[in-house]
Amino acid sequence: MFYNLLSPLATDISLFNVFRYITFRSMAALVTALVLSIVCGPHFIAWLRRLKCGQYILEDVPAHAAKAGTPTMGGLLIMFTLCVSVLLWADLTNPYIWQTMLVFVGFGAVGFWDDMTKLRHHQNKGISARAKLAGQLVVACAAMLCLVFNDHYTSTLAIPFLKDVSLNLGHLYLPFGVFLMVAASNAVNLTDGLDGLAIGPTIVAGIVFAIFIYITGHAVFARYLLVDYVPGVGEVAVFCAALVGAGLGFLWFNAYPAQVFMGDVGSLSLGGVLGYLALLSKQELVLAVVGGLFVAETLSVIMQVSYFRWTGGKRLFRMAPLHHHFELKGVPESKIIIRFWITSIMLGLVALSVLKLR
């Protein structure tokens, strides 16, 4: 909004030129979302408590018994602060901004439906897996339709670390894109089982994609770094920065011991939008690197279930997803969280190295 209102005044007052810079507006979006979260957070958590949005805790991990009643659906705070910040600082005539918001809010709506169902039943039983998947598929298909009608749509995949090698998926790019968003959404959801465990790596991914998207939308940098140039997409860096700010602001309250959980409204929306950011930045496969922790958590579940069926009842891990395995081995929760964060920062750096190592 500030861009649309104030940057035209730059012809008369040169100070207003700053509103033209994506870098300036991205920093402002980060700070706005962060400050808004920290200011609104306590009121929001008190409001969730009044509405009795307390988490129902399953009994299979005894260490979590003390978490009973912690308010959930903190993802609504992320959604509110991120959307306000983007509306204030982004160019509202840019179609990529609206598409990204649509994906974020769309996946969030599916999560909200699940959270509300759980709360209504006063237990951990939300909507059926099939209904959840159907909702995610509808949002992901709508997102892919938007993407295809963009001016600079291409169905090629860059292969990380290989120069001049790309794979043209043709029409298969559509189901691939849908899969990427739905998989990312569910992977973040599976990871969201310890305080700060999902939001930490999401913040790292937000920073990495802010850099990728900025470069993809910058003619000179994109050419220099051999990245596909997509005019206009750089504006989405403002969204990524707001995501980092909103994430940090949420972490303020979700840090161990958590005062609030994000709920499915948070995990599904964040995961889904990370998938869309990977598509927009033309770094689809790099998502598996920067989100390597989410991939590892998901693989641990697939391996656990497959091994259980194959051996007729034996377990590979003490419990899946992976963080439960370490918990049951007696590693303190805060240590698991910080080690997972360190891993995700290292993966973020590896992902960024894709830009130079080819």
Regarding beta strands 156-158 and 166-168, do their DSSP bridges make them parallel or antiparallel, or are they unpaired? antiparallel
| Interface mask toward ligand 57M for 232-261; x: CB under 6 A | ----------------------x---x--x
Q: Rule CB under 6 A: is residue 270 a binding residue for ligand 57M?
A: no
Smallest distance from ligand 57M to CB 254, Å: 5
- CB nearer to ligand 57M: give 25 or 64: 64
DSSP string, 237-297: HHHHHHHHHHHHHHHHHHSSSPS---HHHHHHHHHHHHHHHHHHTT-TTTHHHHTHHHHHH
Site for ligand 57M in 72-101 (CB under 6 A): 72
**Spatial separation of the C-alpha atoms in residues 280 and 94, rounded to whole Å:** 13
Residue 342 CA, chain-centre distance (Å), reads: 18
Structure tokens at 198: 């999902």
Q: Rule CB under 6 A: is residue 305 a binding residue for ligand 57M?
A: yes
85, 182, 192, 207: residue in contact with ligand 57M (rule CB under 6 A): 192
Smallest distance from ligand 57M to CB 37, Å: 15
Smallest distance from ligand 57M to CB 154, Å: 34
Q: Which stretch binds ligand 57M (CB under 6 A): 146-154, 174-182, 231-239, 316-324?
A: 316-324
Smallest distance from ligand 57M to CB 261, Å: 4
Q: Which stretch binds ligand 57M (CB under 6 A): 7-15, 21-29, 219-227, 262-270?
A: 262-270
37, 94, 304, 344: residue in contact with ligand 57M (rule CB under 6 A): 304
What is the helix (H) or strand (E) element at residue 114, kind and residue range? helix 95-121
**Spatial separation of the C-alpha atoms in residues 146 and 230, rounded to whole Å:** 15
**Spatial separation of the C-alpha atoms in residues 241 and 186, rounded to whole Å:** 23
DSSP string, 1-47: -HHHHHGGGGGT-GGGGGGG-HHHHHHHHHHHHHHHHHHHHHHHHHH
6, 27, 35, 57: residue in contact with ligand 57M (rule CB under 6 A): 57
| Interface mask toward ligand 57M for 114-143; x: CB under 6 A | ------------------------------
**Spatial separation of the C-alpha atoms in residues 87 and 137, rounded to whole Å:** 26
Is the Cβ–Cβ distance between 189 and 267 less than 8 Å?
A: yes
Q: Rule CB under 6 A: is residue 58 a binding residue for ligand 57M?
A: yes
- CB nearer to ligand 57M: give 92 or 255: 255
Residue 234 CA, chain-centre distance (Å), reads: 18
Q: Rule CB under 6 A: is residue 321 a binding residue for ligand 57M?
A: yes
Q: Which residues contribute to the site for ligand 57M (CB under 6 A)?
A: 55, 57-58, 60-61, 64, 67, 72, 189-190, 192-195, 254, 258, 261-264, 267, 301, 304-305, 315, 319-321, 324
